[in-house]
């Protein structure tokens, strides 16, 4: 056989091990081979490779030059004799992939393929979006990788918005009755490009009442790992989902049981999502049960020789007032925490991080779930166990408010600030100020956003409002109107700030240093504006609603 030209590209294609994923990946591989001259290595699991060979589905491709089939284990136990063709347990298969049990055999395959005589070296990986562990292999071997979502465009958009459904409190379902009582008819008109979409039209993994549902969480994590760029092709900002989603329980038999001194919360005072968690910790009186540490406010390089910047711990208690060294793991960066928890982690290195000292791992990095755990699961250890920020009689109202506040205000300011085109910015800023107008109208009639009771929804709204005039107006171009021009919202913000414990969660110097100093694409010289230095401890008028 003649020598292979060195420029001939060699793509390793690996689909998720299910027929609906294998077929489109095989079609793409055939196009790359026949139309663009690629050498192809197509990778199935041992289970699927054997089934495809037995069915004859691979026969037309077996003797095609420069088109090879390989297989790797799927991480599941071998089926018992006589049941080799039994349908696989899909949740367990997803869990195996999610836990990266296939990563090692895949890397070994890449090394082996590179040694096959007469074949060009591997030049790229084309991976199914649900097989994000391949990103680790690509990074380790210095290979470019393309993520190919083999689902339909509608399916992809559905999975892409799983995280927002969770953030808005729409899923998991509250009870099984919602499967049949019309709840699934809820319109989802906030998902772009999907007219007349209802909750029942989303990929069906949302139809669960279990916050630990394997399929829901695996799908969400795969989206997070394979979609790290938060600006889409239209120039609009899309927030990356969180990936560690374990739950602490008051049940002593739970893997993560509520115990005094077992957990540590890593935050940044600058981050509104982390500040939610610190607020709950303070309001519930959990300081003696759960310790916490804040990072420095300005992002710095997290590893020598790499461009990545992120949250850094102080080297001493005096280097940056309010920031401290990591007292639990001695980590220099939040990135190190993620790498301790999972050596193959490929997502973003975000705060908050709720750390388990006993198991030496991250329990959860999703603020909306951490605050729920702080609200209920640590009541036996809390100084204020009777304070319920998620009371049963207001839960539906809280979910409704959280949904539009998150989309238009909490995340809305980021959509304004990180938009890269005029259209997405115009849309985001219009939604933001319509939502603020709505808040102003509501707060003209009642003390809190859901009525006369302080709830989770108030804390989630407050962390954005407290940053608005000092940062978002200038830095994120949210300048149609100042917060101080909304008399009800401004007095409401002061009211929340003055609740015992809340003012200690706000360090405006950290907030301003972070935003103005960590986003060079927005503020390249890192200049921090001098004002406006608002006094949120000044009197407010919200007592007028007191009974």
Query: Does residue 397 sit in the same domain as residue 339?
Result: no
Q: For 300, phi and psi rounded to 5 degrees?
A: -135, 170
Q: What is the pLDDT of residue 229?
A: 52
Asked whether the predicted pLDDT for residue 419 surpasses 70, the reply is yes
> Cα 336 to the chain's mean position, in Å?
18
Instruction: Among 201-210, 346-355, 360-369, 374-383, name the most confident range.
Output: 374-383
Between 188 and 381, residue with greater pLDDT: 381
Lowest mean pLDDT segment, chosen from 159-173, 412-426, 438-452, 530-544: 159-173
Cite the active site residues: 271, 414
Asked whether the predicted pLDDT for residue 1 surpasses 60, the reply is no
Query: Does residue 419 sit in the same domain as residue 540?
Result: yes
Residue 521 DSSP label: T
Q: What is the pLDDT of residue 58?
A: 83
Q: Identify whether 250 is part of a domain.
A: no
| Pair of tokens at residue 222 | 């795969």
Asked whether the predicted pLDDT for residue 547 surpasses 60, the reply is no
Query: Does residue 137 sit in the same domain as residue 166?
Result: no
Between 387 and 57, residue with greater pLDDT: 387
% of the chain beyond a pLDDT of 90: 68
CA–CA gap between residue 458 and residue 410 (Å, rounded): 12
Lowest mean pLDDT segment, chosen from 284-288, 493-497, 498-502, 542-546: 542-546
Instruction: Convert the pLDDT of each residue in 495-508 to its tens digit.
Output: 999 999 999 999 99
Query: Does residue 405 sit in the same domain as residue 375?
Result: no
The whole-model pTM stands at 0.67
Among 100, 121, 148, the domain boundary falls at 148
Q: What is the pLDDT of residue 123?
A: 92
Q: Identify whether 247 is part of a domain.
A: no
Average model confidence (pLDDT) for the chain? Answer: 91
Q: For 6, phi and psi rounded to 5 degrees?
A: -65, -25
Q: Identify whether 252 is part of a domain.
A: no
Measure Cα distances from 83 to 56, 79, 93, 225, 475 in Å: 20, 6, 17, 34, 61
Query: Does residue 314 sit in the same domain as residue 442?
Result: no
Among 148, 181, 200, the domain boundary falls at 148
Q: Identify whether 491 is part of a domain.
A: yes
Q: What is the pLDDT of residue 59?
A: 83
Query: Does residue 496 sit in the same domain as residue 400?
Result: yes
Question: CB-based contacts of 482: which residues, under 8 Å, 6+ apart?
Answer: 468, 469, 473
Q: What is the pLDDT of residue 49?
A: 92
Asked whether the predicted pLDDT for residue 460 surpasses 70, the reply is yes
**Greatest distance between any 2 Cα atoms in the chain:** 91
Q: Identify whether 241 is part of a domain.
A: no
Query: Does residue 359 sit in the same domain as residue 410?
Result: no
Report helix, strand and coil shares of the chain as percent, to nearest 5.
40, 10, 50
Asked whether the predicted pLDDT for residue 86 surpasses 80, the reply is no
Instruction: Convert the pLDDT of each residue in 195-227 to its tens digit.
Output: 889 999 999 999 999 988 989 888 887 877 666
Measure Cα distances from 539 to 454, 490, 531 in Å: 19, 11, 20
Place of tokens 């669960």: 208
Query: Does residue 36 sit in the same domain as residue 136?
Result: yes
Q: What is the pLDDT of residue 169?
A: 82
Lowest mean pLDDT segment, chosen from 29-33, 312-316, 418-422, 465-469: 418-422
Query: Does residue 118 sit in the same domain as residue 199?
Result: no
Domain of 504, in residue numbers:
392-545
Between 100 and 25, residue with greater pLDDT: 25
Q: What is the pLDDT of residue 5?
A: 44
Measure Cα distances from 190 to 196, 234, 408, 420, 531 in Å: 10, 16, 10, 20, 35
Query: Does residue 366 sit in the same domain as residue 405?
Result: no
| Pair of tokens at residue 270 | 């600058």
Asked whether the predicted pLDDT for residue 364 surpasses 70, the reply is yes
**Per-residue pLDDT averaged across 179-202, rounded?**
88
Query: Does residue 311 sit in the same domain as residue 449?
Result: no
Among 148, 170, 202, the domain boundary falls at 148
Number of domains in the chain: 4
Q: Identify whether 2 is part of a domain.
A: no
CATH number, domain of 311, equals 3.40.30.10
Q: What is the pLDDT of residue 248?
A: 94
Query: Does residue 298 sit in the same domain as residue 419?
Result: no
Q: Identify whether 417 is part of a domain.
A: yes
Other beta carbons less than 10 A from residue 458's beta carbon: 23
CATH number, domain of 84, equals 3.40.50.2000
CA–CA gap between residue 128 and residue 22 (Å, rounded): 9
Q: What is the pLDDT of residue 242?
A: 63
Q: Identify whether 238 is part of a domain.
A: no
């Amino acid at each position: 056989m003649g020598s292979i030209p060195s420029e001939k590209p060699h793509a390793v294609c690996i689909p998720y091990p299910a027929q609906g994923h294998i077929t489109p990946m095989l079609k793409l591989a055939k196009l790359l081979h026949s139309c663009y001259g690629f050498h192809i290595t197509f990778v199935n699991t041992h289970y699927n490779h054997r089934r495809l060979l037995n069915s004859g589905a691979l026969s037309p491709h077996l003797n095609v030059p420069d088109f090879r089939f390989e297989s790797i284990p799927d991480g599941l136990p071998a089926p018992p004799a006589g049941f080799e063709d039994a349908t696989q347990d899909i949740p367990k298969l997803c869990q195996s992939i999610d836990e990266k049990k296939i990563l090692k055999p895949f890397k070994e395959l890449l090394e082996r393929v590179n040694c096959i005589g007469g074949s060009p070296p591997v030049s790229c990986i084309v991976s199914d979006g649900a097989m994000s562990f391949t990103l680790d292999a690509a990074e380790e071997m210095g290979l470019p990788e393309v993520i190919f979502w083999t689902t339909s465009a509608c399916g992809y958009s559905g999975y892409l918005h799983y995280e927002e459904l969770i953030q808005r409190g729409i899923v998991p379902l509250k009870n099984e009755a919602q499967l049949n009582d019309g709840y699934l008819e809820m319109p989802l008109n906030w998902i772009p490009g999907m007219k007349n979409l209802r909750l029942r039209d989303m990929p069906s993994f949302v139809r669960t009442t279990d916050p630990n549902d394997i399929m829901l969480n695996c799908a969400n994590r795969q989206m997070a790992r394979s979609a790290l760029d938060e600006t889409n092709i239209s120039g609009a900002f899309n927030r990356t989902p969180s990936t560690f989603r374990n739950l602490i329980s008051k049940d002593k038999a739970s893997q993560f049981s509520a115990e005094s001194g077992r957990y540590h919360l890593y935050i940044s005072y600058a981050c509104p999502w982390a500040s939610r968690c610190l607020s709950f910790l303070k309001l519930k009186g959990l300081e003696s049960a759960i310790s916490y540490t804040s990072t420095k406010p300005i992002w710095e390089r997290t590893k020598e020789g790499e461009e990545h910047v992120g949250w850094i711990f102080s080297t001493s208690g005096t280097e940056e007032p309010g920031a401290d060294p990591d007292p639990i793991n001695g980590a220099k960066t939040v990135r190190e925490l993620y790498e301790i928890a999972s050596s193959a982690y490929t997502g973003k290195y975000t705060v908050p991080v709720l750390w388990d000292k006993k198991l030496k791992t991250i329990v959860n990095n999703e603020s909306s779930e951490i605050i729920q755990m702080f609200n209920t699961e640590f009541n036996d250890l809390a100084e204020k166990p009777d304070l319920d920020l998620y009371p049963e009689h207001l839960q539906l109202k809280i979910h409704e408010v959280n949904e539009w506040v998150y989309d238009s205000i909490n995340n809305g300011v980021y959509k304004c600030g990180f938009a890269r085109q005029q259209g997405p910015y115009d849309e985001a800023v219009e939604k933001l100020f319509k939502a603020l107008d709505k808040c102003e109208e509501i707060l003209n009639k009642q003390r809190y956003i859901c009525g006369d009771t302080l709830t989770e929804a108030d804390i989630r709204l407050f962390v954005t409002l407290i940053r608005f005039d000092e940062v978002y107006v200038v830095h994120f171009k949210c300048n149609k109107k100042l917060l101080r021009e909304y008399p009800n919202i401004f007095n409401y913000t002061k009211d929340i700030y003055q609740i015992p414990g809340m003012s200690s969660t706000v360090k405006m110097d950290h907030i301003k240093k972070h935003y103005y100093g960590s986003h060079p694409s927005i503020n390249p010289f890192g200049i921090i504006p001098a004002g406006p230095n608002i006094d949120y401890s000044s009197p407010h008028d919200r007592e007028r609603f007191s009974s």
